Amino acid sequence: MRNHTSLLCAVAFALAALLTPPAFGADAVPTDQDKVAAARAVKLAEQLRCLVCQNQTIAESNAELAVDLRRQVKEQIAAGKSDAEIVDFMTARYGDFVLYKPPFKATTALLWLGPVLLLAIGALVLLSVVRRRRGPATEPELTAEQRARAAKLLDGGDAGGSR
């Protein structure tokens, strides 16, 4: 009964995820009337990661921090800062992790190479397990007495004595 309940819950969650309308960068459009500034804000919001959700941009996220970051982006655009200056400000404040596509450098190498390393480690563990299971079975060494008995049996003699 419990397995059926778990399965039903999993199916319900999957259906809910499929039927929920996706959030797009257009959801983060600023309320000001300047279309160019609004487009810039959306473009920048799509480049910055929500530090709460971590798998969404601040354009997609409805977390309070994402709303605050979108507001900061709009304020900096209104203050006349360039896109590069805004990204530099966010990076200085929150680190490279705030970038949805962080640059490859020494501090982000693990972020970029981590999945490949984990995959390689998993493959090595799998190979070692398979090799251990398939490895050649070592036959135990026979004593001189056991060899003599085996030879007699193979020759047709009775090594076990009469019965």
Give the bridge partners for 57, in sequence order.
49
Q: How confident is the model at residue 163 (pLDDT cuts 50, 70, 90)?
A: very low
Considering the domain architecture, whether residues 83 and 62 belong to the same structural domain is answered as yes
Is 51 among the domain residues? yes
Structure tokens that stand for 142 in this block: 């026979």
Is 58 among the domain residues? yes
Tell me how far apart the alpha carbons of residues 74 and 42 are, in angstroms, rounded to a whole number.
9
Average pLDDT of span 3-14: 62
Tell me how far apart the alpha carbons of residues 127 and 121 are, in angstroms, rounded to a whole number.
10
Considering the domain architecture, whether residues 87 and 75 belong to the same structural domain is answered as yes
Structure tokens that stand for 75 in this block: 């304020």
Is 151 among the domain residues? no
Q: What pLDDT does 162 receive? A: 47
Q: What pLDDT does 29 receive? A: 46
Number of C-beta neighbours around residue 49 at 10 A: 24
Structure tokens that stand for 110 in this block: 């693990």
Considering the domain architecture, whether residues 55 and 108 belong to the same structural domain is answered as no
Q: What pLDDT does 97 receive? A: 84
Is 152 among the domain residues? no
Is 84 among the domain residues? yes
Considering the domain architecture, whether residues 95 and 108 belong to the same structural domain is answered as no
User: Number of structural domains, the chain?
Assistant: 2
Considering the domain architecture, whether residues 96 and 41 belong to the same structural domain is answered as yes
pTM for the structure as a whole: 0.50
Average pLDDT of span 90-102: 87
109 vs 77, residue with greater confidence: 77
132 vs 137, residue with greater confidence: 132
Do residues 24 and 64 touch, judged by C-beta distance below 8 A? no
- Mean pLDDT (the chain, rounded): 80
Tell me how far apart the alpha carbons of residues 156 and 163 are, in angstroms, rounded to a whole number.
15
Q: Which of 61, 79, 101 marks a domain boundary?
A: 101
- Residue 83's domain is classified under what CATH number? 1.10.8.640
Q: How confident is the model at residue 160 (pLDDT cuts 50, 70, 90)?
A: low
pLDDT at 132 over 60: yes
Is 158 among the domain residues? no
Considering the domain architecture, whether residues 96 and 111 belong to the same structural domain is answered as no
Is 20 among the domain residues? no
Considering the domain architecture, whether residues 107 and 92 belong to the same structural domain is answered as no
- Give 47-56 pLDDT, tens digit per residue: 999 888 878 8
pLDDT at 17 over 90: no
Q: How confident is the model at residue 127 (pLDDT cuts 50, 70, 90)?
A: very high
E-strand spans in 28-100? none
Considering the domain architecture, whether residues 40 and 92 belong to the same structural domain is answered as yes
Considering the domain architecture, whether residues 93 and 111 belong to the same structural domain is answered as no
Considering the domain architecture, whether residues 121 and 88 belong to the same structural domain is answered as no
- Which residue range(s) make up the domain with 78? 26-101
Average pLDDT of span 32-53: 86
Q: How confident is the model at residue 82 (pLDDT cuts 50, 70, 90)?
A: very high
